[in-house]
């Protein structure tokens, strides 16, 4: 396997190509050439290839020349042979050894100057000697700087190698007029030279790289700018990212990001060679949001002619009828080299000819020399326009410019525009920046008369960050400042309902839902009515009220038969997620998944505080549904999203998801660690639902570890915190099955009976599959603990019937295992064996290691079955029927929704039971019995 180095991200395809190339059993390629622009990551991949070669047992001969060394003859050959022992040279004939040692300054030649052919031949024979002992990799970085004599030696040797296990891994910049790789192609057969173009990284990979290497995560708008300007080049992205962190005060709204000095110097040479008139008009091209040639001609009829030198120098190019810079860095350098007067002049001229309000306002702002009320007003209008078009990041820049250009004697306008700016930054994903702006507004306001919009927005931010006490306090204050603003009051009520539900205060949240309904009725506003119905439906479930109308509406929304107003709930759940969570807790996983994915798509590139809860709910849903690989993907994405929020308290989401996944997979130490960390954070921020989730996972983890006493401590705390009324989140905290097993293990049958009663009440109120299936299993376990098998076994049958509507395979496996255990105790061993084997099959297909062990232990307590087809479990019998009909293992797995590995395990058990050795014997046995 190709070794991953610390800096390497997003290069799975390139790594696979390198791995395939290094495998001597595959392909005939002799040379693999990594090509790309400077800084794109060729050297990192080249190093990974070197490490992989060493790990696989190759002899590594390596060289990494610099531009200065390209004038030193045989510098690269000397580097390649630097670590080779003297005895390798001793095998050469004296003339060849003398020529090579003289060329490399290993010995002083007493003869004529070394012959090129002799040096090349000596190098080739040395390679052959080394390759006779072990495979050899010649690794050369920056091929464009290889000195010409060394390049000729390499070319000579590579062309003459035949079956020797010698390969060349080289990296170079894209081909130029003087292409050193062209020498390799001469005389090589088809397929001997492979090329891998190392292109730009995707946004997610640049994000991963910056998270690893920078001291703090970039905010989402900063990340987007870095990606756009770097063009996906990892080196450029790191340099720009570091510059942003080190020079935050030099970044001015609306202008291109400044570049680090050494990066600007690397590309400025191409600009300084252009005529002054060309450099001048290039500033206008940078300033234009859309490089329209007609606008340039309108400003200056000579503009297009002045750009010809830039076209010829490939600084700019024509593409699809527009002019553009060949690399984003060139545009930034052009703008950075222009003085302030030149920039303002061009922005002033462009403001008179562009058509879109955002463009015109931006140019007005950048041409201004001081505050101006009219320009500020134009910028505010442009910000509203940009936000309405779905560009909150652009709106935030325009709002900032409006603030900067508002005269000081208009303080109310400044305050309003600062709040606008904060809202746009929040929509663009910069929650931390929005919070700082709003705090500044509140500090400058008079106590008791602080603006409602600022209080509401910062309250929502505090909610998303996990500071629920502060969020509730701010929103209650905002409610007191709404006055006659009914719509403003409705938005505050909306956010307060979310906060109260998250704090576990569902009754208070329900009372605010009723107030929201009254506001919607007074306003006769359809969107407010939809909002009120949604929040009231979700909160009703939390206080134990069934809403058939709400359930029907949720289903209709998921199926696309009803629409939902996409009002913004900044800092809270996406509007679709209330319905998604409602369906998820009602065991309608398929429709819940549809809404979650729709919400995730709609939140792409926006406020991370919206995305993190969506990703958590998707991770939890897939944990329940048994797709643990997908759950792991969502968990990782949730963790990354939490990092981007900049709020450590939000880590409770990803930690709970991680703990649940580890617990299900049987990784108990990791589950315990993550759940304890989540519990601490949830307790600190007073987030009751996540505290309950963490306690439930900790209890399940200790039960799986065989410590029911410790498990019951967590379950007791969970029951105490949720209260006797069990108010809130029915269907979310699915701990009842674990609680009953724990209590029975401790001999507390009455306590287990009480949990069963709670499940019975939930089934009566909500009618969901979870309380029906798990309630029946728990009643069966309680009855069996009292020795009442006549009551216990029918309850298990009811549980299995209910599992048909509950898409949670692990829970079905647990029910089968418990059923098998009780059947064994009831002396019904044949059926017991079948139930336990079915459970084991489920646990194996899931990869639930802790439960696999329990199933094996239970199977060991049951006497082995006598030989014969009739002793097979239902699953084994289905496998036999399909195999006898001619199906392959893969086809059997697909038809039975099992993994191929599980099918193979079933066949092994079948062969053992029937004393058979092969598939053909199995077919013959079944045919004879028929």
- What are the pLDDT digits (tens) for 486-506? 888 988 998 898 888 878 788
In whole angstroms, give the CA distance from residue 102 to residue 80.
16
DSSP 846-858: HT-HHHHHHHHHH
Count Cβ neighbours within 10 Å for each residue of 868-896 and write b for 16 or more, e otherwise. Answer: eeebbbebbbbbbebbbeebebeebbeeb
Q: How confident is the model at residue 430 (pLDDT cuts 50, 70, 90)?
A: confident
pLDDT at residue 482 tops 60: yes
| pLDDT score of 700 | 95
| pLDDT score of 252 | 66
In whole angstroms, give the CA distance from residue 597 to residue 593.
6
- What are the pLDDT digits (tens) for 865-890? 544 555 677 788 888 888 888 888 88
Extended strands (E) in 815-910: none
Q: How confident is the model at residue 541 (pLDDT cuts 50, 70, 90)?
A: confident
DSSP-assigned letter for residue 170: E
Assess contact for 379 and 397: CB atoms under 8 A.
no
3-state SS assignment for residue 29: coil
| pLDDT score of 797 | 93
Q: Would you give the end-to-end CA distance of the chain in angstroms? A: 51
- What are the pLDDT digits (tens) for 440-463? 999 888 777 888 989 998 988 888
Q: In the chain, pLDDT over 90 holds for what percent of residues?
A: 25
- What are the pLDDT digits (tens) for 640-663? 888 876 667 788 899 999 999 999
Please identify which residue in the block is written with the tokens 């340039």.
Answer: 296
3-state SS assignment for residue 173: strand
Q: 863 or 337, which is more confident?
A: 337
Average pLDDT rounded to a whole number, residues 357-367: 82
In whole angstroms, give the CA distance from residue 374 to residue 353.
18
Count Cβ neighbours within 10 Å for each residue of 418-446 and write b for 16 or more, e otherwise. Answer: bbbbbbbbbbbbbbbbbbebbeebbeeee
Averaged pLDDT score across all residues of the chain: 83
pTM, 2 dp:
0.62
Closest listed residue to residue 359, CA positions, set 375, 384, 382, 340: 382
Assess contact for 729 and 689: CB atoms under 8 A.
yes
Residue 515: phi, psi to the nearest 5?
-65, -40
Query: Can you read off the two tokens belonging to residue 254?
Result: 């609306």
> What residues are paired with 193 via a beta bridge?
31
Most confident of 642-646, 851-855, 922-926: 851-855
């Amino acid at each position: 396997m190709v070794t991953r180095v610390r800096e390497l991200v997003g290069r799975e395809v390139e790594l696979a190509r390198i791995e395939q190339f290094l495998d001597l059993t595959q392909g005939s390629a002799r040379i693999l050439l990594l090509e790309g622009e400077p800084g794109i990551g060729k050297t990192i991949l080249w190093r990974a290839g070197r490490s992989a070669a060493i790990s696989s047992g190759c002899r590594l001969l390596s060289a990494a020349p610099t531009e200065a060394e390209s004038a030193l003859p045989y510098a690269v050959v000397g580097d390649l042979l630097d670590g080779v022992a003297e005895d390798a040279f001793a095998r050469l004939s004296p003339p060849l050894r003398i020529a090579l040692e003289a060329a490399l300054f290993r010995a002083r030649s007493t003869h004529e100057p070394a012959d090129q052919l002799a040096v090349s031949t000596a190098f080739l024979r040395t390679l052959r000697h080394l390759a006779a002992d072990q495979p050899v990799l010649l690794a050369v970085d920056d091929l464009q700087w290889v000195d010409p004599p060394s390049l000729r030696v390499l070319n000579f040797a590579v062309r003459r190698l035949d079956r020797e296990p010698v390969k060349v891994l080289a990296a170079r910049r894209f081909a130029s007029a003087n292409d050193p790789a062209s020498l390799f192609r001469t005389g090589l057969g088809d397929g001997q030279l492979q090329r891998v173009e190392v292109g730009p990284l995707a946004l997610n990979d640049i994000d991963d790289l910056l998270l690893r290497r920078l001291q703090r995560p970039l905010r989402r708008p900063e990340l987007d700018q870095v990606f756009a300007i770097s063009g996906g080049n990892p080196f450029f992205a790191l340099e720009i990212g570091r510059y942003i962190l080190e020079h935050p005060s030099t970044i001015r709204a609306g202008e291109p990001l400044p570049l680090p000095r050494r990066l600007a110097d690397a590309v400025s040479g191409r600009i300084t060679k252009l005529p002054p008139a060309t450099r001048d008009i290039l500033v206008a091209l940078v300033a234009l949001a859309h490089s329209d040639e007609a606008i340039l001609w309108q400003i200056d009829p000579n503009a297009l002619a002045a750009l010809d030198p830039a076209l010829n120098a490939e600084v700019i190019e024509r593409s699809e009828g527009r002019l553009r810079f060949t690399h984003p860095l060139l545009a930034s350098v052009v703008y950075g080299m222009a003085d302030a007067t030149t920039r303002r002049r061009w922005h002033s001229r462009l403001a008179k000819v562009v058509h879109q309000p955002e463009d015109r306002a931006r140019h007005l702002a950048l041409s201004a020399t001081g505050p101006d009320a009219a320009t500020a007003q134009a910028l505010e209008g442009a910000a509203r326009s940009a936000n309405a078009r779905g560009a909150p990041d652009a709106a935030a820049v325009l709002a900032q410019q409006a603030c900067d250009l508002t005269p000081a004697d208009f303080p109310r306008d400044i305050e309003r525009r600062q709040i606008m700016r904060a809202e746009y930054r929040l929509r663009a994903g910069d929650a931390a920046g929005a919070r700082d702006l709003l705090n500044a507004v509140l500090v400058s306001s008079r106590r008791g008369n602080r603006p409602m919009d600022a209080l509401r927005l910062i309250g929502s931010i505090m909610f998303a960050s996990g500071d629920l006490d502060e969020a509730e306090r701010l929103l209650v204050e905002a409610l007191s400042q709404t006055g006659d603003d009914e719509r403003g009051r409705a938005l505050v009520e909306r956010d307060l309902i979310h906060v109260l539900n998250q704090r576990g205060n569902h009754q208070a949240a329900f009372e605010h839902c009723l107030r929201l309904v009254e506001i919607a009725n007074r306003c006769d506003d359809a969107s407010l009515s939809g909002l009120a119905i949604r929040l009231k439906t979700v909160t009703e479930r939390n206080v134990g009220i069934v809403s058939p109308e709400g359930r029907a509406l949720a289903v209709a929304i998921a199926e696309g038969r009803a629409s939902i107003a996409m009002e913004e709930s900044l800092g809270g759940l996406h509007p679709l997620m209330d319905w998604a969570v409602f369906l998820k807790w009602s065991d309608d996983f398929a429709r819940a998944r549809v809404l979650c994915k729709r919400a995730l798509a709609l939140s792409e590139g926006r406020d991370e505080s919206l995305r993190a809860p969506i990703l958590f709910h998707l991770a939890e849903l897939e944990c329940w549904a048994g797709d643990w690989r997908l759950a792991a993907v969502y968990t990782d994405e949730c963790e990354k999203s939490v990092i981007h929020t900049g709020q450590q308290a939000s880590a409770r989401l990803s930690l709970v998801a991680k703990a649940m996944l580890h617990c299900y997979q049987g990784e108990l130490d990791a589950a315990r660690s993550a759940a304890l960390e989540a519990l601490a954070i949830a307790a600190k921020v007073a987030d009751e639902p996540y505290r309950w989730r963490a306690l439930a996972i900790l209890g399940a983890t200790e039960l799986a570890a065989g410590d029911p006493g410790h498990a019951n401590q967590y379950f007791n705390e969970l029951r105490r915190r949720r209260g006797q009324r069990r108010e809130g989140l029915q269907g979310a905290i699915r701990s009842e099955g674990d609680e009953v097993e724990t209590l029975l293990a401790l001999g507390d049958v009455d306590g287990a009976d009480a949990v069963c009663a709670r499940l019975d009440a939930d089934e009566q109120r909500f009618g969901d599959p979870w309380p029906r299936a798990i309630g029946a299993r728990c009643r069966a376990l309680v009855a069996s603990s009292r020795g009442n098998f006549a009551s216990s076994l029918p309850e298990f049958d009811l549980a299995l019937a209910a599992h048909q509507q509950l898409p949670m395979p692990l829970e079905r496996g647990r029910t089968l295992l418990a059923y098998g255990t009780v059947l064994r105790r009831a002396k019904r061993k044949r059926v017991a064996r079948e139930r336990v084997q079915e459970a084991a099959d489920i646990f194996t297909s899931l990869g639930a290691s802790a439960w696999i062990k329990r199933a094996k232990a239970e199977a060991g307590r049951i006497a082995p079955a006598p030989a014969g087809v009739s002793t097979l479990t239902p699953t084994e019998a289905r496998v036999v029927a399909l195999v006898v009909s001619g199906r392959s293992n893969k086809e059997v797995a697909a038809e039975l929704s099992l993994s191929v590995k599980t099918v193979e395990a079933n066949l092994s058990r079948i062969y053992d039971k029937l004393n058979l050795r092969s598939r053909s014997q199995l077919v013959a046995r079944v045919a004879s019995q028929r």
